[in-house]
Amino acid sequence: MTERQPLLLQSDASDYEGSRGSAARPVRSSPPNNTLVNVHSEDSLAVHAAASGSGDDEIGSTDKSSYNPTHHRDLEHPTSNFDTLVHLLKGNIGTGILAMPDAFKNAGLYVGLFGTMIMGAICTHCMHMLVNCSHELCRRFQQPSLDFSEVAYCSFESGPLGLRRYSMLARRIVTTFLFITQIGFCCVYFLFVALNIKDVMDHYYKMPVQIYLLIMLGPMILLNLVRNLKYLTPVSLVAALLTVAGLAITFSYMLVDLPDVHTVKPVATWATLPLYFGTAIYAFEGIGVVLPLENNMRTPEDFGGTTGVLNTGMVIVACLYTAVGFFGYLKYGDHVEGSITLNLPQGDTLSQLVRISMAVAIFLSYTLQFYVPVNIVEPFVRSHFDTTRAKDLSATVLRVVLVTFTFLLATCIPNLGSIISLVGAVSSSALALIAPPIIEVITFYNVGYGRFNWMLWKDVLILIFGLGGFVFGTWASLAQILNDRTH
């Protein structure tokens, strides 16, 4: 139903209203049915942080080491292992899987094949790192659960003394990248829908993609004025069913009359590899859903481990991504588009139905993606008004402005492959590859990094890999966007 979003719960109201009062706020790591894990306020985190900061010895004290956060979670509707696996798959599989053949085009058939598996392994390890840091920090601060931004905050708050002043900055940086990521997803969704509708209509009447974007703007604004998530549940179900049907039919087209592997490039040029990185990390960036899912499991100890829910789900995701990328690129070669649906036969009725069904599915899913950035910014906007009527009006205006903003971005960058690569390189790499190693290094500063400091060296290598992809991926994506606009 949703695509690698932080499960609609990354509201950061405490960043703006935490200083205005000490009212408790719910933990934002809830499942899609809005189950609350427990209630704790930012003030409580600050109190525990102050206690932790009184001495490094206290951090490793007996009472804190014996605290088990999973025993203190008050779950109204805990999820089973199977439910968690399904949510994990839905959180990772979306428009990114349709862009994998384009990623393989930028890497080459065999580089894409092995690179995607390696990328999946690294991203999965980073998810494990984040979960382990969350457990460690929950014990230190005696909290039942923490979300992504709270883990960043608590790691700095209990880390080296010189870094503790930056704990709130770390929290806001993670929140900002979550906002950028979700806004980027919304732009991709907007453009994906417009391009697929255009591809269908071009068979009858040709118009620029900007016209289709403009036609979509009104209905998209109206749909996103819905504030209650329970009204979106049927919408999500329809979107999920359409996505499954569209992917199944797309596979049936890809696997027919496959050419020989020698008809495509085994290795691409160095110049296009950063574009591959951006698209691949965009597709794998499901790290935002990991903590909410683990926090709301009936048996959270089954989430990690060699055969745990996380590894099982990510192996399935990696295999699907690799299969779509490999066979899609092999089938269409260098003519592959930013979405594999755009390569399906134009005059074929079944392929037209696939485009329409995927366009409708992504159109309906936009609202769920949009819920996250709205919940991050809306508390800040509402805090500037006094009356309830003014607060509600400002929230409505904010929704209209943000939807229009994603429309303008999609209009300015009408190349689907470029915008996916840019979103992946900028925000997805920051959340999936840069933040976890930094958080782990700071979290275990007082505990140790293992024999020969293996944890430190491993985190440094992942950090260098993430920073390299961030810099070169962003540069290559922007260069491609500017090059497309000048031609």
Chain segment 331-373, per-residue pLDDT in tens: 999 999 888 988 988 778 888 888 998 898 888 888 877 887 8
Neighbours of 267 (CB within 10 A): 12
- Distance of alpha carbon 121 from alpha carbon 102, whole angstroms: 21
Compute the average pLDDT of residues 192-207.
88
Alpha-carbon distances of 465 from 354, 426, 431, 469, 470, rounded to whole Å: 37, 14, 13, 6, 9
- Distance of alpha carbon 238 from alpha carbon 244, whole angstroms: 10
Domains of the chain and any CATH numbers: 43-485 (1.20.1740.10)
User: What does DSSP assign to residue 297?
Assistant: B
Q: What is the pLDDT of residues 400-437, one digit of tens each?
A: 999 999 999 888 887 888 888 889 998 889 999 999 99
Q: Is 322 exposed, middle or buried (0-12, 13-18, 19+ CB in 10 A)?
A: buried
pLDDT band per the 50, 70, 90 thresholds, residue 112: very high
In this predicted structure, what is the pLDDT of residue 309? 93
In this predicted structure, what is the pLDDT of residue 63? 53
Q: Find residue 39's DSSP bridge partners.
A: 26
For residue 40, pLDDT beyond 50: no
Q: pLDDT: is 44 or 428 the higher one?
A: 428
pLDDT band per the 50, 70, 90 thresholds, residue 31: very low
User: 92-96, 251-255, 364-368, 416-420 — which one is most confidently predicted on average?
Assistant: 251-255
Q: Is 334 exposed, middle or buried (0-12, 13-18, 19+ CB in 10 A)?
A: exposed
Q: Is 446 exposed, middle or buried (0-12, 13-18, 19+ CB in 10 A)?
A: middle
For residue 141, pLDDT beyond 80: yes
In this predicted structure, what is the pLDDT of residue 314? 93
For residue 14, pLDDT beyond 50: no
CB 213 within 8 A of CB 190: yes
**pTM listed for this prediction:** 0.80
What integer best gives the mean pLDDT of the chain?
83
